[in-house]
Structure formats: C-alpha cells, structure tokens
A and B are shown apart, each in its own frame.
Chain A
Amino acid sequence: TQLLEQSPQFLSIQEGENLTVYCNSSSVFSSLQWYRQEPGEGPVLLVTVVTGGEVKKLKRLTFQFGDARKDSSLHITAAQPGDTGLYLCAGRDYKLSFGAGTTVTVRA
C-alpha cells in the first residue's frame, strides 16, 4: 500500500496547456518534496514545502502544501515539452516515502 497517492497516474497534454498533479495521504508529514525524474536518471529535487498552507513558485511551477500537511499539489502553467517527465512527491517523517508518480507528457 502506497503511503502517498498521486493522481493522475498519467497525463498527456498539448504544449501551452496547464496541468495539476495531486499528492494525497492520510499521514501528516514534517515536510513534503516534489521531484522530477527523467528516464534512466535519478530524481531531481524541485521543491521542499514545510509549512501547512505554504505556496512556492518556481517559474511556471506552483507547489502547494495542504493546511494539515497531508496533501500537496503541483501546478504547471503553459506547459512545455521540456516539462515532460515523471513527477514524484515524497513525504518525510523519519524517512522519505515516495508516491507512485505521475507521468507527464507534453506534446509539441
């Protein structure tokens, strides 16, 4: 059983469209991280959110941590083909637990 549930599992959109990926859990985490992973490579950290209700922006990416620190969302505005990849959320208690990931494909 996955501690963190991500939805959707797959997402395919046209360049210029917006997308949102969700990460939900019944557990409270001290912090939550979002990673992007390219095929055949290790995950790369995008952001860490720590405070409930926190919103962080990274260019066209907006990350939100739920008030209860159990869920998070990643929103990409005007997606580009370079945004294609596997997006993973990971919650930290005494260790880092990863969600199953969302495979995002942005078509040119």
Chain B
Amino acid sequence: GAVVSQHPSWVICKSGTSVKIECRSLDFQATTMFWYRQFPKQSLMLMATSNEGSKATYEQGVEKDKFLINHASLTLSTLTVTSAHPEDSSFYICSAVSGTSGNYNEQFFGPGTRLTVL
C-alpha cells in the first residue's frame, strides 16, 4: 500500500526558532499534499493544501508567513514553522494524494510530527 513518512517524528525547540517538518510519499508520486494540525483531544484541522510546483493554498486563519510550505518535488513537501511559540505546540500531520490515481478519496496520512515549543 501507499506509504507516507514524516520526519522528524517529534521535535522540541526553543521559542523563537524555526522548525522544518518533512513529508514524503515513499512509493508513489503525490501531486497534492495536505498539512493538518491536531491539538490534544481535538480533531484534525486542515492548514493548507500543497501542490507540486505551485504556491500552497492556506485555510482561513492560517498565517502563510508563519507556516511556510514547499512542495518542490512529487514526493516531498516541507512545512517550516517560523519563529515558533509555545502555542504552536501541536501534532502536525501530512497526507498525500496519488498523482496517478487522481482519486482524492485515496488520501494517505503520515504518522505525524509532535512539535513542542518551550
């Protein structure tokens, strides 16, 4: 089956620093990747849609200058949390849609990255 990986699986950083999270589709090409954020005991909230070779589309209320998304290849999207603050501490999850299937119902999720900002 299709596998999506994330790196790192967890990260602790100091307030004011930037953190980069990688999302990779391991055995398929993903023209579209999604970034979600999940706070404890809450559901997944879509942050942005990342399309290969173009600018990401951000959901309302998500600061594009704070959450930088780059989708430079068909297998890799990165999310950079800039000038992180404790309120950015969360579980960040990516998902990918296979470019060949074109079926958006086939959305494969990564294992998530736990970010803790001190």
B residues bordering A, Cβ < 8 Å?
4, 6, 34, 41-46, 49, 91, 93, 95, 104-105, 107-112, 114
Contact = CB atoms under 8 A, between A and B. Distances in A.
B105 A100 contact: no
Given A33-B105, A95-B49, A96-B46, 19 more contacts: A2-B43, A31-B105, A35-B109, A40-B112, A40-B114, A41-B111, A42-B93, A42-B109, A42-B110, A42-B111, A43-B44, A45-B109, A50-B105, A88-B44, A92-B104, A98-B43, A98-B44, A99-B43, A100-B42
A25 interface: no
17 contacts: A40-B91, A42-B95, A42-B109, A43-B93, A43-B109, A48-B105, A50-B105, A88-B43, A92-B104, A95-B46, A96-B34, A96-B46, A98-B44, A100-B42, A100-B43, A101-B42, A103-B41
Contacts of A33: 105
